[in-house]
Amino acid sequence: MSVNNKSILEKANAAVTTGDNEGFLAYCTEDTVWTFVGEQSLHGKEAVREYMKKAYVEPPKFDIEEIIAEGNFVTALGKISMKNEEGELKHYSYCDVWKLRDGKLDVLKAFVIEA
């Protein structure tokens, strides 16, 4: 199961980096919960969809350094670059901890800091 869960995250991330937000969301549960530690929480696929429209002015670029899968959890560590609303390219270091349910991305706890 861990290998399959890792593959699910890799496929979902590949979709979002091409600008296919709906393709990414197809890998999420309807009641997905995303928590950006110290910032905000999103509840449900529609809230995530709206977040992605605003946050991903252009598709983000991921540099995944490690993906660790164990049971229903997948953790990704790396760097992400994306433009903000003013069009400035910003660079971040991140650690995403995902819990999967029934083969879909269900709960995210994201630690993101500007690099």
pLDDT in tens, the chain (115 residues): 566 999 999 999 999 999 999 999 999 999 999 999 999 999 999 999 999 998 888 899 999 999 999 999 999 999 999 988 788 999 999 999 999 999 999 999 999 999 8
Task: Please name which of 36, 35, 33 lies closest in space to residue 44, comparing C-alpha atoms.
Answer: 33
pLDDT at 61: 92
Distance between CA atoms of residues 106 and 93, nearest Å: 22
pTM: 0.91
Phi-psi region of 48 (alpha: psi -120 to 50; beta: other; left: phi over 0): alpha
pLDDT at 1: 58
pLDDT at res. 87: 84
Q: What is the pLDDT of residue 5?
A: 92
Supply the pLDDT for residue 64: 94
C-alpha–C-alpha distance, residues 30 and 16, integer Å: 17
